[in-house]
Amino acid sequence: MPAALEHAPSLAGRLAENLLKAWLSGDAVRVHSELERSLSVPVEQAYDTGEQERRQLLQAVAGQMRRCPDLLELGTQSPKLKLYLHLLWHLVPRN
């Protein structure tokens, strides 16, 4: 495998990080924008199977988050929302 692909940053990871940051900001417009970006990432154009799986997970989580009625209510987080945020956190690349 070419060295450039071995160390390519994960688009799914960057999008997950952006979505988490948007959620932490509490800005509804920013959150919904990041949700749409996460949902629109092309899965089939990923550079390897692992990245395809990360993108699929990101899309599944973003789709569920979009349906959360309490998405931005920090004090009343549902167990499902906590799970979604935890899954996103695991997608974020570690430096």
Domain boundaries, the chain: 3-91
Q: What digits encode the pLDDT tens for the residues 16-74?
A: 999 999 999 999 999 999 999 999 999 988 889 999 999 999 999 999 999 988 888 86
pTM of the model as a whole: 0.85
Phi-psi region at 26: left, alpha or beta (left = phi > 0; alpha = psi -120 to 50): left
pLDDT of residue 2: 44
CB 5 within 8 A of CB 47: yes
